[in-house]
Structure 1
Amino acid sequence: MMKLHWSPRSPFVRKVMIALHETGLLDEVECIRSVVAVHLPPNEQVMPDNPLGKIPVLVTDEGKSVFDSRVICEYLDMKSGTGLFPVDPVARLDQLRWQALADGLTDILLIWRTELSRESGPWQAVTEGWLIKARAAMARLEKEAPALEAADFGIGHIALICALGQLDFRWSDCRWRDHFPALSELEARMAKRPSVVATAVVDDQDSGAGDLIRGNLAF
């Protein structure tokens, strides 16, 4: 059985979990709750499987460690032949583009939250830059929404679901749906997929950190 270092709070772990549902491989994976954070010492359980100390990490049946959600999801897709990464070059490039954009937005949201939680306070010049980039990323995704709607469900859609889920989870007062109607409609339809419903973000640690970022992201 494969092993997955997992957290119900991580958007990148959620990408893998959605892929596991979509590929039908969920029952072949044991999920191990693994806590990692920039401000904490590296998790001793994770380090042997990923020297970067990050999750998700998938350990295959053969004992090979696969890390980074993009690589893990592609491995699961190759293993199952589901088609989350299309064979057609044009469709594949679109899915990879959307994945890169949505993952990049998620990265910004995660490091931004960490910056805002520093006791000495955030570096305003840096956070202002992230705000500009987050707005631009959402504007581009809004523009891409019709193409996303027309395409078969793939890794780009999965990455987008997880980025928007991070906004809802950690930036709940940003009201992104009021500013990006096409993206809102697309998300509402994707939210009905069983794989998305089954992987809703859950905060199983009462850290209170989510309160620190309220009011800092406005579209």
Structure 2
Amino acid sequence: MKLLSAIPSPYGRKVKVLLHEIGETDKIEVVLVSTTPVTTDPSVAAANPLGKIPALIRDDGPALYDSRVICRYLDAQAGAGMYPEARLWDVLTLEATADGIVDAAISMVYELRIRPEEKQFDGWLDSQWAKASRALDALEARWMSHLSGPVDMGQISTACALGYLDFRHGTRDWRNSRPQLAAWYAEFSERESMKATAPE
């Protein structure tokens, strides 16, 4: 199988971290692509009509896309238990929260990098950061016991989201007033799976 991704992509990183955690990196060939919302790589468009990465090209069926779908598929194929039935709804909600942080953070990047400067809207940037900030507050207030438990996709997604904030929005200091989350992330970042997939 082939995974279409890009080194900076936090969604692609989720998949790669999962592969490291479940010992399946040798089963997938990672193909690096360069694609944007306005200039879609043809190989990405062929795999995912939405033109988004990551996309997983399978040998025995149509390509899968959306990182949540890919991660569920790979976890099921390996029987790895990263979506444990006993905590499934918590895991899925935590994964959705982390992906929402990434959605907002990427939207901010697009506003600054793709939209012409005269059309950029500070109000949009502020509103997107407010979404991310509320989600970070929720992680600090409600999810620390789960984050401190056995590793699952909720934790992987959260770590990749926080890593992306450091990578693209480091000056905003998400750690301020969130000491528990900051401490958890510092420890989780030491995992080999995180080190091996860190964006350049």
Fold-level match, TM-score > 0.5?
yes
SS of 1:83's equivalent in the other structure is coil
Q: Work out the CA distance in 2 between the residues paired with 1:135 and 1:178.
A: 10
- The answer to whether structure 1 residue 27 and structure 2 residue 26 are counterparts is yes
- The answer to whether structure 1 residue 61 and structure 2 residue 59 are counterparts is yes
In 2, are the aligned partners of 1:23 and 1:76 still within 8 Å (CA)? no
Q: By how many angstroms is 1:5 displaced?
A: 0.4
Indicate the residue corresponding to 2:132 in structure 1: 134
Indicate the residue corresponding to 2:192 in structure 1: 194
What's the RMSD between the two structures over aligned residues?
1.4
Indicate the residue corresponding to 2:91 in structure 1: 95
Q: By how many angstroms is 1:63 displaced?
A: 4.0
Q: Find the partner of 1:170 among 168, 171, 190.
A: 168
Check 1:145–1:182 CA distance in 2 against 1; reply closer, same or farther (3 A cut).
farther
Question: What TM-score do the two structures reach when normalised by structure 1?
Answer: 0.86
Q: Which runs of 4+ in 1 moved over 6 A?
A: none
Q: By how many angstroms is 1:33 displaced?
A: 1.1
Q: Work out the CA distance in 2 between the residues paired with 1:29 and 1:132.
A: 36
SS of 2:37's equivalent in the other structure is coil
Q: By how many angstroms is 1:53 displaced?
A: 0.8
Indicate the residue corresponding to 2:152 in structure 1: 154
* Structure 2: unaligned runs, 5 residues or longer: none
In 1, are the aligned partners of 2:104 and 2:132 still within 8 Å (CA)? yes
Q: By how many angstroms is 1:62 displaced?
A: 1.0
Question: 1:72-87 to 2 correspondence within 5 Å?
Answer: 72-87=70-85
Identity %: 36
In 2, are the aligned partners of 1:57 and 1:68 still within 8 Å (CA)? yes
What is the number of equivalent residue pairs in this alignment? 198
Q: Work out the CA distance in 2 between the residues paired with 1:24 and 1:189.
A: 20
Higher helix proportion (structure 1 or 2): 2
Counterpart of 1:16 in structure 2: which amino acid? V
Q: Find the partner of 2:43 among 24, 27, 45.
A: 45
* Structure 1: unaligned runs, 5 residues or longer: 203-219
